Amino acid sequence: MRILLIMIASMLAACTPASQSAERAGVVLTLHGDIAASNRAAMDPQIEPLFNTFGLEFEQAYVVSGAQLARLAQHDIQVDYPAGGAQRAFRGPLLRDVLALAMPRGDNVVVTALDGYQRDISWQRIEAHDVILATSMDGQPLPMGGFGPAMLVWPRATDRALAGMSDDDWLWGVIAIEITTSP
Ligand SMILES: Nc1nc2c(c(=O)[nH]1)N[C@H]1C(S)=C(S)[C@@H](COP(=O)(O)O)O[C@H]1N2
Ligand SMILES: [Mo]
């Protein structure tokens, strides 16, 4: 009986608005679409104008904070960006590790940035290449207004299959990723 009461109490505590808002603080990325894990409710067009403008609709989603991204295994990529330009040191978790948080089950993702720029990336490419969701460059966190809050960075200098790739799939300002399944 006592154990049951403790279980109920801790379940109630986990649902209080205070702990929900603590979890929401610092959300930088929303994963939606074909996912099995979720930690938030439907998109609300009244209070989510960018999602509304970009047509990002969902009944549920998995939101990720900067702190959560920092707790994933960090990978470094030394690479030219823009292509042929300055050498930069990017750091962040592997994109596939970030997506795994939401228990995805699709074969494609649609990445959306805060300026509305959008790219389709196949799951096969995400598995085949160690693309990261960078959160820092040259030791500095990626700022809003710059490449932040997060940026897709590909190891084109070391992964021979990526040699010479263009910057098209190097999205800066990434805010949402939809997991989709081909019909
Ligand atoms: N968020 C965002 N990321 C982006 C783009 C963009 O328009 N928005 N353009 C892509 C392309 S096509 C290139 S060549 C490079 C540089 O684009 P820019 O000069 O428009 O920033 O960023 C890539 N990442
Ligand atoms: Mo481009």
Question: What is the pLDDT at residue 122?
Answer: 98
Under DSSP, the state recorded for 26 is T
- Among the bound ligands, name the one nearest to the CA of residue 81: 1
Q: If pLDDT is split at 50, 70 and 90, which confidence band does 8 have?
A: low
Q: Contact, 113 vs 174, CB < 8 A?
A: yes
Distance 168 CA to ligand 2 centre (A): 5
Q: If pLDDT is split at 50, 70 and 90, which confidence band does 9 have?
A: low
Q: Whose CA is nearest to atom 14 of ligand 1?
A: 167
Distance 78 CA to ligand 1 centre (A): 19
44-93 residue pLDDT tens: 999 999 999 999 999 999 999 999 999 999 999 999 999 999 999 999 99
| Residue type at 121 in one-letter notation | I
25-43 residue pLDDT tens: 899 999 999 999 999 999 9
* Structural domain boundaries in the chain: 25-180
Helix (DSSP H) and strand (DSSP E) numbers for the chain: 6, 11
Q: What is the CB < 6 Å shell around ligand 1?
A: 82, 113, 115, 117, 167-168, 170-173
Q: If pLDDT is split at 50, 70 and 90, which confidence band does 4 have?
A: low
The span from the CA of 5 to the CA of 165, in Å, is 58
Higher-confidence residue of 102 and 1: namely: 102
Q: Whose CA is nearest to atom 12 of ligand 1?
A: 168
Residue 7 has pLDDT above 60, yes or no: no
The span from the CA of 66 to the CA of 16, in Å, is 22
The span from the CA of 39 to the CA of 133, in Å, is 21
Q: If pLDDT is split at 50, 70 and 90, which confidence band does 23 have?
A: low
Distance 85 CA to ligand 1 centre (A): 14
Superfamily of domain 25-180: Oxidoreductase, molybdopterin-binding domain (3.90.420.10)
Higher-confidence residue of 2 and 173: namely: 173
Question: What is the pLDDT at residue 183?
Answer: 84
Q: Whose CA is nearest to atom 5 of ligand 1?
A: 171
Distance 167 CA to ligand 2 centre (A): 5
101-123 residue pLDDT tens: 999 999 999 999 999 999 999 99
Residue 109: count other Cβ atoms within 10 Å of its Cβ: 22
Q: If pLDDT is split at 50, 70 and 90, which confidence band does 182 have?
A: confident
